[in-house]
Structure 1
């Protein structure tokens, strides 16, 4: 019931309380903060689910996420265990460890690691990617998304830091060095309109499917990486 109420409120927020006026975006404050969560689905989350949906076949066996297992449960098939990594103990945490400290991580353990919007919050991101590689079984797959042209996440900045924004070129270089350039696939999602939308807090529900689906590599909201351990 609470989910339904929240959904109704977000719809009212979008359509009644503060509808988008595309002809009047000359403003110093965004239409909504927090990526537009209080209005609907943030555009970057729409792209993340599109990427994971396209790679459902990889999400099987022992599947790992950071802090929770919502995407594993949404997109996984033939999952033998839902693993959750965090630096601190928690209700659903199965691996207490730090991606930048291999000694805290099991080796060759995971079939699929879903790691969304995480490496941009880790200062030593290259070591963290090496930690992800360390966790995977041979043949295991990392499905990672990285922030591109998006605002700072105040929530994360205040807790552990928000350090980096990536490009296709930087992602290809760092993941290629660790996984091997022949073992990675990289795609970007976004265009100038959806970049404008996410910066303003305008949500996926307020855009047309063809506007969301158009990809312009010059305006990446997220960089998505599929990396396979040799």
Structure 2
């Protein structure tokens, strides 16, 4: 019931209280400072979920996520165990460890690692990518998403830092260094309109499917990486 009421409130806010002023975006303050969560579905989530949905076949066996297992459960097929990694013990946490410290991580343990919007919050992101490689079994798959053009996350910046934004070129280089250039696929999602929308905090519901699906590599919101441990 509460979830349904929240959805109704977001729709009222979008359509009546504060509709998106597409005819005039000359403003110094965004419509939302929370990526559009208060208006509906954040634009980056649309691209993340489309990426994961297109790789459902990889999400099987022992599947790992950071902090929770929501995407593993949403997109997983033939999952034998839902694993959760965090630096501190918790109710859902099955692996206590630090991606930048391989000694703290089990080796050759995971079939699929879903790592969304994480590496941009880790200062030593290359060591973290090496940690992801260390965790995977031979033949295991890393499904990672990285932030492109988007606002700084104040919540994360105040706690552990928001350090990096990536391009398809930088992702290809750094993931290729760890996994091997022949073992990675890098895709960018976004266009100038959806970049404008996410910077102003507009939601998916305020865009058309055609606008969301149009891809322009010069304006990436999300960089997605599929990497296989050979």
Same fold (TM > 0.5):
yes
* Matched residues, number: 230
Normalising to structure 2: TM-score of the pair?
Answer: 0.99
Normalising to structure 1: TM-score of the pair?
Answer: 0.99
Q: Which position in structure 2 is the counterpart of 1:103?
A: 103
Q: Which position in structure 1 is the counterpart of 2:81?
A: 81
Moved over 2 A (4+): none
Q: CA RMSD in A?
A: 0.4
Q: Which position in structure 1 is the counterpart of 2:59?
A: 59
Q: Which position in structure 1 is the counterpart of 2:185?
A: 185
Matches of 1:96 and 1:9 in 2, distance apart?
Answer: 38
Q: Which segments of 5 or more consecutive residues in structure 2 lack a partner in the other structure?
A: none
What is the Cα deviation at residue 2 of structure 1?
1.1
Matches of 1:34 and 1:98 in 2, distance apart?
Answer: 27
Q: Which position in structure 1 is the counterpart of 2:26?
A: 26
What is the Cα deviation at residue 87 of structure 1?
0.3
Matches of 2:93 and 2:5 in 1, distance apart?
Answer: 29
Once the two structures are superposed, the pairs formed by residues 30-45 of structure 1 within 5 Å of their partners are: 30-45=30-45
Q: Deviations over 1:159-198 (max 9, x none)?
A: 1000000000000000000000000000000000000000
What is the Cα deviation at residue 150 of structure 1?
0.5
Q: Which position in structure 2 is the counterpart of 1:46?
A: 46
1:153 aligns with 2:132: no
Q: Which position in structure 2 is the counterpart of 1:134?
A: 134
Matches of 1:2 and 1:195 in 2, distance apart?
Answer: 31
What is the Cα deviation at residue 34 of structure 1?
0.8
